[in-house]
Amino acid sequence: MIREFINKHKPTILYGISLALLLFLLKWLELRFIIINHIFEIYAGAIALLFTGLGIWIAMKLTKPKVETVVIEREVLVEKKHFQFNEQQQAQLGLSKRELEVLNLIAEGLSNQEIAGQLFVSLNTIKTHSSKLFEKMEVKSRTQAVEKAKRLSLIP
Amino acid sequence: MIREFINKHKPTILYGISLALLLFLLKWLELRFIIINHIFEIYAGAIALLFTGLGIWIAMKLTKPKVETVVIEREVLVEKKHFQFNEQQQAQLGLSKRELEVLNLIAEGLSNQEIAGQLFVSLNTIKTHSSKLFEKMEVKSRTQAVEKAKRLSLIP
DNA sequence: GGTAAAATCACCCAAAAGTATGAGTTAATT
DNA sequence: AATTAACTCATACTTTTGGGTGATTTTACC
């Protein structure tokens, strides 16, 4: 408890003690001062220098260290999870929103009938979409479309 | 040139000027000192405090800020670069070498006819292979097979 | 040498996929 | 008001795919 307090306020205590000692020293020097009157400036200068040093020392002890944060990035191999959709490709191929939707469902392995059910449209509509999709993507089958779409980051 | 010198030794010059001013102040106070003799301790204390402050200020200005380095490790997700074939899955599903070959070609978007040409076998053979493949993989179409195969790391 | 798995192929049939064409509706743009 | 693009649907037709069955050959293993 007491030790902790001493440790915490060590600089302050030391400063106090130093000040007290200096004052005693001054008192003692005062006697001499009467005798050797003309060294007063030197005396004051000495005090100034001494306490400047003390100030520096205190500053060194007290200043909070600046915290510099170094972030080390460790690479961790992971399954593909991040997927950044390639809008440029979509624009370049001229794929519509609906076509992209169909493409995604095709990639999930759904049949045209299932896709039609999922999107609440007829089978023929899905066929039309996929046809146009294949035409735009310059492929001939759903499997090729999926393969190419993955390469072009149109689907995860 | 001169300006540069001044900038470089600014603290030193300021310290010198302060010291000079203080000495003038002391000289002036000295006259009063004769009259009011007993405030010498206060006077010396004042100098001490003042120069302690000056010292602290100098230290603040001159010393390089203490740097405490805190290392934070952050994990960065990196996509798997290379494909590691999952032999366990192949064994578990009981896929033969030929079936795996067909699976890969299917994943590349080839039709059964094209696969047959590539492997120098008949279309019927490829149909048999893909049929058994789908059966073993418990899927109903080539698209589903590709999707599942990628999930199971059977193909890149 | 016999057995089992793998690979090959054929035939048939049904379902799904894909092509071609035409057409109606809606929403956005000019 | 006219145009365009996107979305919708239908019909007809061809191709591909996938399931089922059966058979032959090759390869590997006990």
Nucleotides of C under 7 A from a protein CB: 5-12, 16-23
The label of the residue with tokens 């999870």 reads: A81
Range of the domain at A10: 2-63
Q: For residue B76, is it within any domain?
A: no
Nucleotide in closest CA–C1' contact with B102: C7
* pLDDT for residue A29: 59
Q: Does B129 touch chain A (CB under 8 A)?
A: no
User: Is residue B81 in a domain?
Assistant: no
Contact A72 B75 (CB under 8 A): no
Whether B144 maps to a domain, the answer reads yes
Q: Min CA distance, A62 vs chain B (Å)?
A: 10
- In order of A43, B55, B58, B117, the CA distances from A60 in angstroms are 26, 10, 10, 82
**Pick from B11, B29, B63: which residue ends a domain?**
B63
Q: How confident is the model at residue B120 (pLDDT cuts 50, 70, 90)?
A: very high
Q: How confident is the model at residue B83 (pLDDT cuts 50, 70, 90)?
A: confident
Mark whether A16 and A59 lie in a shared domain.
Answer: yes
**B110 occurs within a structural domain:** yes
Q: For tokens 């493409």, what's the residue?
A: A103
**Pair A59, A93 in one domain:** no
**Rounded Cα gap, residues A141 and B111, in angstroms:** 8
Rounded to two decimals, the pTM is 0.59
Mean pLDDT, residues B61-77: 67
Under 8 Å CB-to-CB from B145, ≥6 apart: which residues? A109, B103, B106, B130, B133, B134, B137, B139
> Which of the listed residues A47, A63, A79 is the one where a domain comes to its end?
A63
Name the nucleotide nearest B110; use CA and C1': D16
Q: Which two tokens stand for residue A155?
A: 């689907």
Q: Are residues B53 and B97 in the same domain?
A: no
Q: Is A49 contained in some domain?
A: yes
Task: Indicate if B15 and B59 belong to the same structural domain.
Answer: yes
Is A77 an interface residue toward B (CB < 8 Å)?
Answer: yes
For residue B126, tell me if it sits in a domain.
yes
Last residue of one domain, picked from the residues A12, A30, A63: A63
User: Domain holding B94: CATH number?
Assistant: 1.10.10.10
Note whether residue B82 is domain-resident: no
CB < 8 Å to B55, chain A: 51-59
Interface membership of B29 toward A (CB under 8 Å): no
Note whether B95 and B58 are same-domain residues. no
| Residue closest to B108 by CA, chosen among A141, A144, A133 | A144
What is the average per-residue pLDDT within B130-144? 96
**Token pair recorded at residue A99:** 């076509």
- Residues B52, B8 within the same domain: yes
Q: Does the pLDDT at position A127 exceed 60?
A: yes
Distance CA A99, CA A136 (A): 10
Residues of A in contact with B17 (CB under 8 A): none
A25-40 pLDDT, tens digit each:
666 656 655 555 555 5
B72 neighbors A70 (Cβ within 8 angstroms): yes
Task: Answer for A92: CB within 7 Å of strand D.
Answer: no
For B89-96, what is the mean pLDDT?
92
* Number of domains comprising chain B: 2
Instruction: Identify whether residues A98 and A49 lie together within a single domain.
Output: no
Residue-level pLDDT at B2? 44
The secondary structure of chain B in percent helix, strand, coil, rounded to multiples of 5, reads 70, 10, 20
Q: Does A13 touch chain B (CB under 8 A)?
A: no
Same domain, yes or no, for B59 and B92?
Answer: no
The whole-angstrom separation of Cα A48 and Cα B54 is 9
CB contact (8 A) between residue B59 and residue A59: yes
Q: Do A55 and A11 fall into the same domain?
A: yes
**Residues A85-109: tens digit of each pLDDT:** 999 999 999 999 999 999 999 999 9
Per-residue confidence (pLDDT) for residue B1, from 0 to 100: 44
Are A94 and A129 within one domain? yes
- Tell me if A33 is assigned to some domain: yes
Instruction: Say yes or no for a CB contact (<8 Å) between A59 and B56.
Output: yes
The pLDDT of residue A78: 59
Identify the pLDDT of residue B5.
Answer: 46
Whole-angstrom distance, CA of residue B83 vs CA of residue A110: 26
Q: State the DSSP H helix or E strand holding residue A87, giving kind and residue range, or none if neither.
A: helix A87-93
